[in-house]
Homo-oligomer: A and B are copies of this chain.
Amino acid sequence: MTATPESRHEEAPAAAAWTRGRVGLWLIGARGSVATAAVVGIRALAARLAPPTGCTTAGSAFTGVPLPGFDEIVIGGHDVSDVPLVRRAQLLAEAGMLPAPIVAGVRSDLAEVDAEVRRGHAATAHDESQASAILRLAADISDFRIRHSLAHVVVIDVSSTEALPADRPEFHDPELLAAALADPAQRVLPPSSVAALAAVESGSAYACFTPSAGLWLPALRTLADRRGIPYAGQDGKTGETLLRTVLAPMFTERGMHVRSWAGTNLLGGGDGATLADPAAVQSKLASKNRGLVSLVGDHVVAPLHIDNVPDLGDVKTAWDHVHAEGFLSTRITLQTTWSAYDSMLAAPLVIDLARLLSLADAAGQTGPLPAMGFFFKDPWGSDVHAFADQATALRSWATDTALSLAPEAISIGNAR
């Protein structure tokens, strides 16, 4: 099969096309808003029902980079919800988020993907020890890989934001962790970390699109490094934070002194409800402000709110107020109001990550991938937050990685 990297301009297939066969995208939270949008989108792009607007990897900078085509991505996942993808997609179309004709056009695809969704591991599932859950989830992923003869599987966590767990020794020591997991009475890990460990066990590439603990616990990263998987994170940079990491460098390049950067986010939908939980919102707020502080300095006063406003549905509206000091201490103020369906900002990034982590895996890269920082509020393996610098780094990485892949290497794959 010859891959066809998509682009808005429908160019001819790249010379150095992806020749490895299909790849897998395994979504943790496969029936949530972001996953539904991503699944609808991938199938719509594969069927050329829509141009790949919003996908960075569809841009001209990625022409010639051997990424899997949209029609080469096989999708499955875990979820604790039983609401079928078709139903979720219809609800999101009625809410105005997904275009109804597109949903109608991929209806049968959604049923097909739904058949690949397995029961997730819930925090409240006391009938299953965490050790068993990890094995069961990993087996689901491996089975998926084998049944579809997939060259690589990329696991991406797009489930609801969890509260951050209190620190404990097991998070820092793989052996302590193993002991705790072996005890069926203990539930040492948050669900996102159970899922992350299953991804590691199955030898899949992994990305954490949420601010939940996921793979970020040191013991888990050690295990991921031992297993030799590539991974990336954390917390998708979709809206307000994207804007901040674009704007903050403007102030610093011009020698201005940012004094305060206040923000308020209004949203409803499932995300709004999740973030109405003060513990969950705390992990979100922390990751939203880290980039800002890194870019303008820790003197910045940066109150930040996320309000659950159910009537606004899935549209997120974010207002920011920036006060910077300019020449001779004169006041400069900038206000921004950003309004968009947050899940529709997230979905193309999930697709980009699936494509890019497949490439990384094909190229034998392991450990944290700093170049993926472009997509995250909390980049792993990098302290670069400035968006333009991240874009440059991503493009360089893609070019270098593509060059590193001799055609033979591509066909050999990444045997572990």
Q: Which A positions have Cβ atoms within 8 angstroms of B? A: 8, 37, 40-41, 44, 50, 52-56, 58-59, 96-99, 102, 242-243, 246-247, 249-250, 252-257, 259-260, 262, 264, 266, 301, 303, 305, 307-312, 317, 319, 321, 323, 325-341, 344-345, 347-348, 386-389, 391
Contacts and interface: CB of A to CB of B under 8 A. Distances in A.
Contacts of A41: 327-328
Contacts of A266: 260, 262, 303, 321
B317 A321 contact: yes
Contacts of A255: 8, 52-56, 58-59, 348
A301 B309 contact: yes
A325 to B, nearest CB: 6
Residues of A contacting B: mostly: mixed
A348 B329 contact: no
A299 to B, nearest CB: 9
A36 to B, nearest CB: 12
A386 B252 CA distance: 16
A246 B339 CA distance: 19
Given A307-B262, A321-B266, A335-B337, A97 B330 contact: yes
A99 to B, nearest CB: 6
B253 A56 contact: yes
Contact of A339 (B97, B252, B256, B332): B332
- Sorted nearest first, the 9 A-B pairs with minimum C-beta distance are A388-B388, A54-B327, A259-B311, A303-B307, A332-B340, A330-B344, A335-B337, A264-B264, A246-B250
A292 B341 CA distance: 25
Contacts of A387: 250, 253, 388
B336 A50 contact: no
Given A255-B58, A301-B311, A317-B321, A53 B96 contact: no
Contacts of A348: 254-255, 326-327
Copies in the complex: 4
B260 A311 contact: yes
Nearest to A390: B253
Nearest to A312: B323
Contact of A327 (B309, B345, B388): B345
29 contacts: A41-B327, A41-B328, A50-B328, A50-B329, A53-B257, A53-B328, A54-B254, A54-B255, A54-B326, A54-B327, A54-B328, A55-B255, A56-B254, A59-B252, A99-B329, A253-B387, A260-B266, A262-B264, A262-B266, A266-B303, A303-B307, A326-B340, A326-B344, A327-B347, A328-B344, A334-B339, A335-B336, A336-B337, A388-B389
A255 B339 CA distance: 17
Given A250-B242, A386-B388, A388-B388, A260 B312 contact: yes
A339 B312 CA distance: 14
Q: Which of A52, A253, A259, A331 has the most CB of B within 10 A?
A: A253
Given A53-B325, A59-B255, A264 B319 contact: yes
Contacts of A344: 326-328, 330
Given A242-B250, A243-B334, 8 more contacts: A41-B328, A54-B256, A54-B328, A243-B247, A264-B319, A301-B310, A330-B340, A336-B337
